[in-house]
Structure 1
Amino acid sequence: MNRIKKVFLRVHVVLWALFSWLVALQLSQSGPQWQRLAVAVIATCLYAFYGQFWLLTRYPGKRNRRAYYLRLTLLVFSAPVWYLLLHHRQFDRNEDLADNYVISLVSIVLPFLFLGWLARITENLVLNTVRKEQLEKQAVEAELQSLKSQINPHFLFNTLNNIHTLVYKQAPAAPDAVMQLASLMRYMIYESNAPTVPLARELKYLEDYMGLQQLRYRERPVVDLQVSGDTEACHVAPLLFIHLLENAYKHSSARLAPGDIRVQVEVQHDTLTFSVQNPVGTPAAAPPLEGAGGIGLPNVRKRLALLYPEQHTLELHDTGTTFTVVLRIHGLQPQPYEREAHLLYH
């Protein structure tokens, strides 16, 4: 906001300097006293312009109309006095004084009162527009932070219980599980604060999530992950796919065979395709995808609308035995990314 005000200040200085030069150039041919006349004209213009400008700043709104109009009347009738005083012209008759008063009022004061009003209205419009955009941006950022924070806490509690069991049994998988949880939490708390991250880093986060979920299953990985394309060059908003994967686990049958959940990620030119397919569980085991309290797909839709308006498609396919979500994001551009310093070290 201060930057916008400084721009307006520079515009005022430049325009008044240009106007003063034009007045001096015009009046330089009017006689030996043209400097005094030019000073009188410019001073009267400044008085009328910034008097109106200040009044509109000091008395805005309908509640201040009476005070504004009273002071505006005083401004209108006092402004020509500056012209008469600074001009220092010897008038032969009172009629000459009255004529010059009226001429300066009509030709100088009234036009610059209008220009002062126009300048104040224009600045208010620009400042209000910028302020509105800033508030909308802050609201969007706040909503995005809220949506990003809605990661299912039950997953964290279950993971901690599973790790506790592994540690108690002195299982070889316990250290890896601890490091996966540390990597996952570090990404959620620190690295996800960036506007975008490399797709490869987002996929590493999903792999950590899948590794921790795999603690519930003794067989081979229940998720078949297929990735193609340059995932380092492609940048996406962080934590964008976790709800889709979480839903796949949540709404699948209680017992998953190896490869039952299929995740495909494809990067082609500036388009990213992310699809998740899972077997549909029984109604008792799998509550409705968008039922009361659900934050999966509604959360994804809100974030996509905020982050990629008119740049994405989200398709849902339910065959009765499988449920598939296909997300496509178009127009992705490579962006620089610097990983934050880690507080946890391997």
Structure 2
Amino acid sequence: MDRVKKIFRLIHLFVWVLFTLLVGFQLRSETDALWRTTTTGFIATCLYVFYSHFYLLTQYTSQRKGRGYWLRLAGIVLTGPVPFLLFHQKPFDFGYYFMHLFTVFIFLFLSWLARVTENLVLNTIKKEQLEKQAVEAELHYLKSQINPHFLFNTLNNIHTLVYKQAPAAPEAVTHLASLMRYMIYESNAATVPLTREMDYVRDYVSLQQLRYKQSPVVDLQIAGQTASYSIAPLLFIHLLENAYKHSPARLAPGDLKVRVELKDDNLAFRVQNPIGKNAAHPPEEPGGIGLPNVRKRLALLYPNQHTLVIQNTGETFTITLTIYGLHSPAHERKAHLHNH
């Protein structure tokens, strides 16, 4: 905001210097012997009227001006030609006085136009800053929900392993440390490499696999080069967590199917799981904050740039998240977000 105000001050200075030079050259070309004093008096009148009214408008910003505004405006109109007459070095002349009233009204209008323009620009910038702060606050709130929500479930799993004195407990702690390192230190960025996000998903799958004695219950396949893509962090974890939550207690190898497909600038993340008969909540309306959180974050981060499709066949539950235009720079997506 201060930078914009400085730019306006420089514009004022440039315009007044240019205007003064034009007036001086014009009067000098008319072979006026007193062109210097005439120019000085005329510019003094213009400056006095313009900035007296300009700063008066800063005190009376409402559309319905008070009595104080109109009294002060009348004072500016009556005293407007005085600077010119003082520099003119001639006896007071009512003809000159009334002639310069026309100049007074012109610069009253110009000062009003300048104040309205500056207010419009400054208010627009202020509005965009407030919207940006609101969006960032909302995103911070949603991300703050992710950590305790996921941590609660993971600690429950580790607690069970420790209680049973399972040999896999140390391995679980190691995986949790890796997950927390990503969540605390790396996920604060606006975007992260997709490769790193997929490493996080693999760590999560490895940690969950400790609950099962069978071969890996998750069939994870990635088609495409993840190294060239970036994405908002922690978008996929709730979709995968939802699949575990609403699956049967016993899962056969490959029952949970996770597919990541990268083509052109589009990313499709699909999770499919069998539906448990005794699930505590319907998959479409899961308990906790998982899917509602994902929907809110997607609406803020990828407006008009994603689809989230849910399919329930009665036997399987599939969620497909597609994000378009991932190669667009992050600042362009943020600009789009702030303007909406």
Name the SS for the 1:190 alignment partner.
helix
Partner of 1:35: 36
Q: Percent identity?
A: 63
Q: CA deviation at 1:122?
A: 0.7
Equivalences, count: 329
Q: Return closer, same or farther for 1:18/1:139 CA change in 2, 3 Å cut-off.
A: same
Partner of 1:340: none
Distance 1:189 1:141 in 2: 17
Name the SS for the 2:109 alignment partner.
helix
Q: Return closer, same or farther for 1:19/1:332 CA change in 2, 3 Å cut-off.
A: same
Partner of 2:6: 6
Unaligned 5+ runs, structure 1: 92-96, 337-346
Partner of 1:128: 123
Partner of 1:280: 275
Q: Which deviations, in whole Å up to 9, do the C-alpha atoms of 1:183-240 show, x marking residues without a partner?
A: 1112112211101000011111111222222222222222111112111210000111
What's the RMSD between the two structures over aligned residues? 2.1
Which piece of structure 1 moves more, 154-163 or 238-247?
154-163
Q: Which deviations, in whole Å up to 9, do the C-alpha atoms of 1:51-91 show, x marking residues without a partner?
A: 11100112222676221111111111111111111222346
Q: Which amino acid aligns with 1:125?
A: L
Q: Report matched runs for 1:149-298 at 5 Å.
A: 149-151=144-146, 153=148, 155-164=150-159, 166-167=161-162, 171-282=166-277, 284-291=278-285, 294-298=288-292
Residue 100 of structure 2: which of 93, 97, 104 is its match?
104
Partner of 1:137: 132
Q: Which deviations, in whole Å up to 9, do the C-alpha atoms of 1:139-171 show, x marking residues without a partner?
A: 111111111222274653443344345456664
Unaligned 5+ runs, structure 2: 331-340
* Contact 1:312 1:328 (C-alpha < 8 Å) held by counterparts: yes
Q: Which amino acid aligns with 1:110?
A: F
TM-score by length of 2: 0.90
Distance 1:212 1:334 in 2: 33
Q: Return closer, same or farther for 1:221/1:121 CA change in 2, 3 Å cut-off.
A: same
Residue 330 of structure 1: which of 310, 318, 324 is its match?
324
Quick check: 1:87 aligned with 2:97?
A: no
Distance 2:183 2:283 in 1: 24
Name the SS for the 1:151 alignment partner.
helix
* Contact 2:230 2:327 (C-alpha < 8 Å) held by counterparts: yes
Q: Which amino acid aligns with 2:86?
A: L
Name the SS for the 1:314 alignment partner.
strand
* Contact 2:223 2:260 (C-alpha < 8 Å) held by counterparts: yes
Partner of 1:17: 17
Distance 2:324 2:149 in 1: 33
Partner of 2:57: 56
Q: Which amino acid aligns with 1:117?
A: W
* Contact 1:80 1:109 (C-alpha < 8 Å) held by counterparts: yes
